[in-house]
């Protein structure tokens, strides 16, 4: 069974696998793995810094 990690929704919000791969300067298969295993913490921090709107939990905390 191929279960998606919740980070898969973040990848979609950022424009999909290829768009995230370009943002992080990695190959798309690496981002495909993140859909199953989760976004590595350093990449997550980078993506959250440049595109905070794609991270709904963080946006909710900032609004509070």
56 versus 40: the higher-pLDDT residue is 40
pTM of this structure: 0.82
Give ∠ CA 44-55-14 in degrees, rounded to 5. 75
pLDDT band at 45 (very low <50, low <70, confident <90, very high): very high
| DSSP, res 25 | T
pLDDT at 62 over 50: no
Contact 38, 32 (CB under 8 A): no
Domains annotated on the chain, with CATH: 7-63 (1.10.260)
**Percent of the chain with pLDDT strictly greater than 70:** 84
44 versus 63: the higher-pLDDT residue is 44
pLDDT at 2 over 70: no
């Amino acid at each position: 069974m191929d279960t998606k990690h919740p980070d898969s929704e973040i990848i979609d919000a950022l424009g999909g696998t290829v768009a995230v791969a370009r943002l992080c300067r990695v190959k798309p298969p690496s981002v495909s793995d993140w859909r199953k295993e989760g976004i590595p913490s350093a990449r997550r921090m980078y993506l959250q810094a440049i595109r905070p709107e794609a991270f709904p939990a963080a946006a909710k905390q900032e609004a509070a």
